[in-house]
Protein backbone atom coordinates (compact mmCIF):
# COMPACT_ATOMS: atom_id res chain seq x y z
CA UNK A 1 0.00 0.00 0.00
CA UNK A 2 2.82 2.39 0.90
CA UNK A 3 4.57 1.74 -2.44
CA UNK A 4 1.33 2.31 -4.33
CA UNK A 5 0.82 5.65 -2.58
CA UNK A 6 4.43 6.68 -3.30
CA UNK A 7 3.93 5.77 -6.97
CA UNK A 8 0.73 7.84 -7.12
CA UNK A 9 2.52 10.80 -5.51
CA UNK A 10 5.32 10.48 -8.06
CA UNK A 11 2.88 10.33 -10.98
CA UNK A 12 1.02 13.39 -9.69
CA UNK A 13 4.13 15.54 -10.20
CA UNK A 14 6.21 13.77 -12.84
CA UNK A 15 5.77 13.01 -16.50
CA UNK A 16 5.66 9.26 -16.95
CA UNK A 17 7.61 9.17 -20.24
CA UNK A 18 10.47 11.55 -19.47
CA UNK A 19 10.47 11.45 -15.64
CA UNK A 20 10.68 15.26 -15.68
CA UNK A 21 8.40 17.38 -13.55
CA UNK A 22 4.98 17.64 -15.23
CA UNK A 23 3.12 20.85 -16.07
CA UNK A 24 1.33 21.00 -12.70
CA UNK A 25 4.54 20.64 -10.71
CA UNK A 26 6.45 22.99 -12.99
CA UNK A 27 3.90 25.79 -12.73
CA UNK A 28 3.81 25.33 -8.96
CA UNK A 29 7.61 25.64 -8.83
CA UNK A 30 7.45 28.69 -11.11
CA UNK A 31 5.09 30.37 -8.64
CA UNK A 32 7.48 29.49 -5.80
CA UNK A 33 10.42 31.01 -7.71
CA UNK A 34 8.46 34.21 -8.34
CA UNK A 35 7.68 34.49 -4.62
CA UNK A 36 11.33 33.90 -3.75
CA UNK A 37 12.44 36.62 -6.17
CA UNK A 38 9.88 39.08 -4.84
CA UNK A 39 10.94 38.41 -1.26
CA UNK A 40 14.72 38.51 -1.77
CA UNK A 41 14.99 40.82 -4.78
CA UNK A 42 16.71 38.22 -6.93
CA UNK A 43 16.21 37.35 -10.59
CA UNK A 44 15.57 34.27 -12.66
CA UNK A 45 14.94 33.39 -16.26
CA UNK A 46 12.90 30.76 -17.99
CA UNK A 47 13.21 29.09 -21.35
CA UNK A 48 10.42 27.42 -23.25
CA UNK A 49 11.57 25.09 -25.99
CA UNK A 50 10.28 22.42 -28.28
CA UNK A 51 11.58 20.01 -30.85
CA UNK A 52 11.56 21.32 -34.39
CA UNK A 53 9.50 19.24 -36.82
CA UNK A 54 8.71 16.58 -34.21
CA UNK A 55 5.53 15.57 -36.02
CA UNK A 56 7.65 14.41 -38.96
CA UNK A 57 9.54 12.01 -36.67
CA UNK A 58 6.30 10.47 -35.39
CA UNK A 59 4.83 10.32 -38.91
CA UNK A 60 7.95 8.76 -40.46
CA UNK A 61 9.23 6.44 -37.73
CA UNK A 62 6.23 5.97 -35.44
CA UNK A 63 5.34 7.11 -31.95
CA UNK A 64 7.66 4.59 -30.30
CA UNK A 65 10.64 6.24 -31.96
CA UNK A 66 9.20 9.67 -31.13
CA UNK A 67 8.97 8.65 -27.47
CA UNK A 68 12.56 7.37 -27.54
CA UNK A 69 13.74 10.68 -29.01
CA UNK A 70 11.92 12.58 -26.25
CA UNK A 71 13.44 10.39 -23.56
CA UNK A 72 16.98 10.62 -24.91
CA UNK A 73 16.75 14.33 -25.71
CA UNK A 74 15.39 15.30 -22.28
CA UNK A 75 18.08 13.24 -20.55
CA UNK A 76 20.75 15.03 -22.59
CA UNK A 77 19.24 18.46 -21.86
CA UNK A 78 19.06 17.65 -18.15
CA UNK A 79 22.73 16.63 -18.18
CA UNK A 80 23.74 19.99 -19.71
CA UNK A 81 21.68 22.04 -17.22
CA UNK A 82 22.90 23.12 -13.79
CA UNK A 83 21.74 21.13 -10.79
CA UNK A 84 19.71 24.15 -9.62
CA UNK A 85 17.76 24.44 -12.89
CA UNK A 86 14.32 22.85 -13.13
CA UNK A 87 13.37 20.94 -16.30
CA UNK A 88 9.63 20.52 -16.92
CA UNK A 89 7.56 18.80 -19.60
CA UNK A 90 4.69 21.17 -20.35
CA UNK A 91 3.09 18.76 -22.80
CA UNK A 92 3.79 17.02 -26.08
CA UNK A 93 7.20 18.17 -27.27
CA UNK A 94 7.14 21.47 -25.35
CA UNK A 95 9.32 22.00 -22.29
CA UNK A 96 10.11 24.64 -19.66
CA UNK A 97 13.41 25.32 -17.93
CA UNK A 98 13.49 27.51 -14.81
CA UNK A 99 16.94 29.00 -14.16
CA UNK A 100 17.26 30.68 -10.73
CA UNK A 101 19.73 33.56 -10.40
CA UNK A 102 20.23 33.89 -14.16
CA UNK A 103 19.62 36.97 -16.32
CA UNK A 104 18.41 36.76 -19.92
CA UNK A 105 21.88 36.90 -21.48
CA UNK A 106 23.19 34.14 -19.19
CA UNK A 107 20.10 32.08 -19.99
CA UNK A 108 20.75 32.60 -23.69
CA UNK A 109 24.32 31.33 -23.31
CA UNK A 110 23.12 28.29 -21.37
CA UNK A 111 20.42 27.47 -23.92
CA UNK A 112 22.91 27.86 -26.77
CA UNK A 113 25.00 25.14 -25.07
CA UNK A 114 21.91 22.95 -24.80
CA UNK A 115 20.88 23.65 -28.41
CA UNK A 116 24.34 22.80 -29.74
CA UNK A 117 24.59 19.60 -27.68
CA UNK A 118 21.26 18.35 -28.99
CA UNK A 119 21.95 19.39 -32.60
CA UNK A 120 25.22 17.41 -32.56
CA UNK A 121 23.79 14.21 -31.08
CA UNK A 122 22.16 11.43 -33.15
CA UNK A 123 19.11 9.92 -31.44
CA UNK A 124 17.70 6.38 -31.49
CA UNK A 125 18.83 3.53 -33.66
CA UNK A 126 17.82 5.66 -36.66
CA UNK A 127 20.57 8.17 -35.81
CA UNK A 128 18.06 11.01 -36.11
CA UNK A 129 19.36 14.55 -35.90
CA UNK A 130 16.96 16.89 -34.12
CA UNK A 131 17.01 20.58 -33.33
CA UNK A 132 15.35 22.74 -30.70
CA UNK A 133 13.91 26.25 -30.73
CA UNK A 134 14.02 28.31 -27.53
CA UNK A 135 12.28 31.37 -26.18
CA UNK A 136 13.74 33.05 -23.11
CA UNK A 137 12.21 35.52 -20.68
CA UNK A 138 13.69 37.05 -17.55
CA UNK A 139 11.44 37.66 -14.55
CA UNK A 140 10.68 41.38 -14.48
CA UNK A 141 7.08 41.68 -13.35
CA UNK A 142 4.78 39.96 -10.84
CA UNK A 143 3.00 37.64 -13.25
CA UNK A 144 4.11 34.10 -13.97
CA UNK A 145 1.56 33.79 -16.77
CA UNK A 146 2.93 36.87 -18.51
CA UNK A 147 6.44 35.46 -18.14
CA UNK A 148 5.38 32.20 -19.79
CA UNK A 149 3.60 34.12 -22.56
CA UNK A 150 6.71 36.18 -23.30
CA UNK A 151 8.93 33.09 -23.47
CA UNK A 152 6.38 31.27 -25.63
CA UNK A 153 6.20 34.18 -28.10
CA UNK A 154 9.98 34.30 -28.26
CA UNK A 155 10.06 30.56 -29.02
CA UNK A 156 7.66 31.10 -31.92
CA UNK A 157 9.90 33.92 -33.16
CA UNK A 158 12.77 31.41 -33.13
CA UNK A 159 10.70 29.03 -35.24
CA UNK A 160 9.65 31.76 -37.67
CA UNK A 161 13.28 32.82 -38.01
CA UNK A 162 14.24 29.35 -39.24
CA UNK A 163 14.23 27.09 -36.14
CA UNK A 164 17.22 25.72 -34.25
CA UNK A 165 17.87 29.01 -32.43
CA UNK A 166 17.47 30.87 -29.16
CA UNK A 167 15.47 34.13 -28.94
CA UNK A 168 15.21 36.40 -25.89
CA UNK A 169 11.80 37.96 -25.32
CA UNK A 170 11.69 41.72 -25.22
CA UNK A 171 10.05 43.25 -22.18
CA UNK A 172 7.26 44.59 -24.43
CA UNK A 173 6.15 41.13 -25.63
Q: Which residues are known to be catalytic? A: 93
Three-state SS sequence of 104-115: HHHHHHHHHHHH
User: Residue 155's closest CA among 50, 41, 65, 74?
Assistant: 50
User: Residue 18's closest CA among 69, 65, 57?
Assistant: 69
DSSP for residue 124: T
Neighbours of 114 (CB within 10 A): 22
Q: Can you tell me the distance from the alpha carbon of 74 to that of 55, in angstroms, rounded to the nearest whole number?
A: 17
Q: Can you tell me the distance from the alpha carbon of 60 to that of 29, in angstroms, rounded to the nearest whole number?
A: 36
Amino acid sequence: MKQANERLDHLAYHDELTELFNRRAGLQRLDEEIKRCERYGTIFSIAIYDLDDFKAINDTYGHGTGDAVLQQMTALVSDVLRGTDLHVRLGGEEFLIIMPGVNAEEAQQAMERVRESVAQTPFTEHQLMVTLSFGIACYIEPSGTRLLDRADKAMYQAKQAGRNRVVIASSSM
